[in-house]
Chains A and B, each alone.
Chain A
Amino acid sequence: DVQMTQSPSSLSASVGDRVTITCRASRSISSYLNWYQQKPGKAPKLLISSASSLQSGVPSRVSGSGSATDFTLTISSLQPEDFATYYCQQSYTTPWTFGQGTKVEIK
């Protein structure tokens, strides 16, 4: 299986901060990398597919980059609605695998 490792596991940040979450794959997954946001009690929401393609309706302050084994999710100016847990997920091969999640909390 391809192991996905996110860092950090959690972070505290203030509104307006720039936030970066890293995801590393145990082997190359090309650009088959997706990012999801999940709020408590809710289903996940797809933010970015194919490493850098922003989904419709997702604000432009959110961006994704990377390829092969190293990927990044960046929120350029954190807003109150961005406090949530974020997951990366590879779809290069089955079984699909998710990172363990990064919880973004209010400082």
Chain B
Amino acid sequence: EVQLVESGGGLVQPGGSLRLSCAASGFTFGDYWMHWVRQAPGKGLVWVSRINGDGSSTNYAVSVKGRFTISRDNAKNTLYLQMNSLRAEDTAVYYCATDVGGPWFGEFSLDSWGLGTLVTVSS
């Protein structure tokens, strides 16, 4: 059974930093693109970032580029999101996700999601 479990969320002051983790199990983690998607309270889904299987390729939303860094440790089956210079508008539930059911290893859609971790940026 595929499981994605996010952790690391919490309350942080504006300008602060936080590192999210996503522990993966039930599939060959290192074969898959992994993504972060966020959702502000009462708002829609926003794609944040993605990383390929060996970590050599990353992409970011414009709103987080230069502040957030996605990475992975395939030996630990864990995905990370380092978030720096946090702003109030970064307040959201952060989901990690991939696609283990399709033929593209998470490159084009997301069929497996964690439950999310809430990040609140406030003074």
**Complex interface residues of chain B between 44 and 93 (CB less than 8 A to chain A):** 44-47, 50, 59-62
Cβ contact of B47, chosen from A43, A45, A95, A100, cutoff 8 A: A95
Question: Contact check: which of A32, A44, A50, A56 meets B110 at CB < 8 Å?
Answer: A44
Residues on B with beta carbons closer than 8 Å to the beta carbon of A96: 35, 47, 50
- Which residue on chain B has the smallest CB distance to residue A91? B108
B44 & A43 in contact (Cβ 8 Å cutoff): no
Cβ–Cβ contact A95 & B108, under 8 A: no
In this complex, which of B46, B50, B95, B111 has the most chain A Cβ atoms within 10 angstroms of its Cβ? B111
B114 at the A interface (CB under 8 A):
yes
- The residues of B that contact A1 with a CB separation of less than 8 Å are 62
Contact of A38 among B45, B99, B102, B109 (CB under 8 A): B45
* Residues of B close to A45: CB separation below 8 A: 113
Q: Does B2 contact A (CB under 8 A)?
A: no
A30 CB to closest chain B CB, in angstroms? Answer: 11
| CA A1 to CA B59, docked complex, whole Å | 13
Q: How far is the CA of A43 from the CA of B22 in the complex (A)?
A: 15
Interface centre among B44, B45, B102, B111 (most CB of A within 10 A): B45
Q: List 18 A-B contacts (CB under 8 A).
A: A32-B108, A36-B110, A43-B113, A43-B115, A44-B37, A44-B113, A46-B99, A49-B99, A49-B108, A50-B109, A55-B101, A87-B44, A89-B47, A89-B109, A91-B108, A96-B47, A98-B44, A98-B47
- Chain B, residues 110-123, CB within 8 Å of chain A (1/0): the string is 11011110000000
**A49 and B107 alpha carbons, distance in the complex (Å):** 12
Complex interface: chain A residues within 8 A of B108 (CB): 32, 34, 49-50, 91
**CB < 8 Å neighbour of B109 from A34, A43, A97:** A34
- Most chain B Cβ neighbours within 10 Å, of A36, A95, A97, A99: A95
